[in-house]
Amino acid sequence: MFWFDNSRKSLVSYSRSLNPEEREHAEKIFTEKIGHEYGTKAPALRFNSSDAKVIDDYEIIYVKALYRAASDKTHCIQEINRCMYKDGLLFSENDESVINARGACAYIKLVYDLDGLKISKRAKEEPPFRILREFQIIRSLNQLQREANESYIIECEEDPNGGYIMEFATDSLDQYISRIGGTPNPDDSKKIILRIIDCVSFLHSNNVLHRDLHPGNWLFINGELKVSDFGLACYLSDDRSGKGYKPSYGVPAYTAPEQLDSLENTSEQSDIYTIGRLINFVLTKSPQKNNHFLHDISEKCTLSEQKQRYYSIAELKEAVLKIFNDMN
């Protein structure tokens, strides 16, 4: 699961401290749980000495299996939470869910319904402003994209227990780039970049600013890239003072300078700035490096002055398509 991207190495490093008997017990429980909940044979856990990867898509279940296998539960929880602390994540002993301690303070857990595996996100207590606002925006956009027969953003539905339930993602954009070990081939890179532009175009055409478009919030669902996490999103007509938002700036490497100063200063050009950084990331694996064939595009997207960037997503897409056509 994409929530564990940055914690995987530390988490698996801890698993290596288990003795052989504890490791065997953990893997046995893991295999049984996968078989029970997925109806399929579990792939073997991988403990690679160079990158310490756990098999993709199963980290949440692996954490639960590790917890159940540990002889000292308290120490196990402390170690898991220490590994995940830098990502603002906590493991809850009571309901074995993962708690996103940032911003909305939401529980994240796997749920099952007739449509298959999904993810539930809900507030720890009464839904705060950010959770309610986030679901309101997503629900509105879901309706608009269904009417347009499109699928630009993650589909969500209300959770009877509070919060909302969203589609299950197999990869985030940053996890995908990390997994393939390099940058996508030229055709895939073009496809991803155009998809990002089209998704943001859909948001802006419906008067929504996202303001947090970093790679972890782009999810692959059934092979299709969609945008998620609208915790910092707002309508163009909204008060953008940042009330109810914490943190209020997003991921610094992908955040426009005006947004780092204040959410009140954000505009469509703030999202365009992030697209420039995303283009760099897709083509070089780094948001800062722009030594690629769309250098001029990403450079204009990320100019410090908002007015010097592309005026609109439509203008940006036209410039990108021109370069793609010239290359062809």
Q: Amino acid identity of 320?
A: V
Residue 58 in this model has a pLDDT that exceeds 60: no
pLDDT in the model for residue 56 = 41
Q: What percent of the chain has pLDDT over 70?
A: 64
198 vs 224, 232, 275, 319, CA distance in Å?
13, 20, 11, 14
Mean pLDDT of the chain: 77
**Mean pLDDT in residue range 167-174:** 81
DSSP characters over 260-320 = HH-GGG--HHHHHHHHHHHHHHHHHS-SS---STTHHHHHHHT-SSGGGS-SSHHHHHHHH
Average pLDDT over residues 223-227: 94
Asked whether the predicted pLDDT for residue 10 surpasses 70, the reply is: no
Most confident of 85-89, 125-129, 163-167: 163-167
Q: Which of 42-56, 109-123, 165-179 has the lowest mean pLDDT?
A: 42-56
Any idea what DSSP says for residue 44?
P
Instruction: Compute the distance between CA of residue 66 and CA of residue 8 in angstroms, rounded to an integer.
Output: 13
Give the mean model confidence (pLDDT) for residues 71-97: 71
Q: What is the pLDDT of residue 319?
A: 97
Which pLDDT score, from 0 to 100, does residue 158 have? 79
User: In this predicted structure, what is the pLDDT of residue 301?
Assistant: 97
Which of helix, strand or coil describes residue 209?
Answer: strand
Band of residue 121 on the pLDDT scale cut at 50, 70, 90: low
Q: How many CB atoms lie within 10 A of CB 214?
A: 21
| Predicted local distance difference test score (pLDDT) of residue 259 | 86
Residue 271, CB-side half-sphere exposure with 13 Å CA sphere: 30
73 pLDDT higher than 70: yes
99 has pLDDT over 50: yes
Tell me the whole-structure pTM to 2 decimals. 0.69
> Structure tokens of 21?
């008997």
Handedness of CA 246, 250, 256, 260 (dihedral sign): positive
**Per-range mean pLDDT, top range of 2-11, 91-100, 121-130:** 91-100
pLDDT value for 57:
42
Cβ–Cβ < 8 Å for 300, 308 = yes
Mean pLDDT of 269-296: 95
pLDDT recorded at residue 300: 97
Mean pLDDT of 6-11: 53
Q: Which residues of 54-78 are buried (b: 16+ CB within 10 A; e: fewer)?
A: bebbbbbbbbbbbbebbeeeeebbe
Given a cut of 80, whether residue 223 has pLDDT beyond it is yes
Instruction: Categorize the per-residue pLDDT at 115 as very low, low, confident or very high, splitting at 50, 70 and 90.
Output: low
pLDDT confidence of residue 47? 47
* Spatial CA neighbour of 220 closest among 282, 267, 173, 278: 173
Check residue 249 and give its pLDDT.
62
The pLDDT tens digits of the residues spanning 288-320 come to 999 999 999 999 999 999 999 999 999 999 999
For residues 256 and 24, which has the higher predicted lDDT (pLDDT)? 256
Looking at residue 228, what DSSP letter applies?
-
